[in-house]
Structure 1
Amino acid sequence: MTQEKSSRERILEAAVAMTGEHLGAGLSVRAVAARAGVSTGSLRHHFPTQRALQDAVLACVYDIAIPDDHVIHDTTLPARERLIACLRLVLAPAPPGAPSRQAWSTVHERFIAPEPTDELRATYLATAREGLRRVEYWLTVLVAEGALADGDNTRRARFLNTVVGGLSIERAMPGDDSVLESETDVLGIAVDAVLAAPG
């Protein structure tokens, strides 16, 4: 017998689907509640603020797009290789060439071309927070193992996210077949810098 989904699960499922359909659009409490088949009061019970809902949705999206737990916890591999593999997962959804160009075109249409509104800014910041949180988690795992000195993981994560962001733009540019090879070198240099830096 299958167990019925909780109202929280239905809300998240509806909100994730709506986010996928309209990237960059805000999540209307009424629209999400209606799609999930719950009252707005029920939605507010589980997610008291718009930010709480948005953060939960983005965490779900990242978990689906970048399932990293098995990678960062695979201690049969050195910490360096695991961290590089996790960063590659961030790049994986948009391979070099047309997929990367399309991904960056979408980002441009949604976040860069329009005049920034409070809603657009909030959506972008929520996405950036979730990306940062994910990289910080990987670094925290390595600190707990003793593979990385305890230190400012937020600062380290920002650095790694900046490197990955630059590489994702490079994937969208017209180039040659060696982009993945140079990408490996750049990720290695960035990870070495983080692992070698004192706390």
Structure 2
Amino acid sequence: MTSAATICAISAAGAGSPTAAAQTCSDVDIVFARGTTEPPGVGWLGTAFINSVRSKVGSKSVSTYAVNYPANWDLYSSVRAGGTDALAHVHATAANCPNTRIVLGGYSQGAGVVDVITIGQRVGLFTPMPIPAEDEPHVAAIAVFGNPMRTMNGGGSLVDKSPVYGGRTIDQCATGDQYCDPGPSDNTAHYAYVQNGMLDQAAAFVAGRV
């Protein structure tokens, strides 16, 4: 996990150098929010997604940021905290590394974190926490998995709910995933995104936009 400060790393210059420091920014920065109750980090699906994106972008450098939030069952407070942290990271990266292509990703509750900073309207109890207009052009792609806001009042796919980011988004919901699919549930579907090919499909979508 790296922070914006690491992505835009400051390396000390040699003694007597006229420049105090030099910046190194990655080509792509993947900001990922883990699922409910997962330990801090990008989570199991985030790790697989990041690895898949890296395998598809050739020589481009890829940094990662794990959204720092509780990911607990106090969903409203937890998602809001995640949105606040993700917004701060996006803003810092856009300001310090303007050529870095930012990718937003999330799984399960983490998909909800991405929703609140990119949707155009209220969904259930969740009101938008929009990415500032000056940072929006730096967001190249969005990928979410098992998105619970799809089934909430006013919900639906993020592709359709975000007038700004819909065209840059892939919102993956496995058939039978009870957290995003209102149809008959399959207890394994929420954990099947690697095996069913949807994760690799999302990585290819993202790689084509960075």
What TM-score do you get using the length of structure 2 for normalisation? 0.30
Give the structure with the higher percent helix.
Answer: 1
Give the structure with the higher percent strand.
Answer: 2
Higher relative contact order, structure no. (Cα contacts within 8 Å, ≥ 6 residues apart):
1
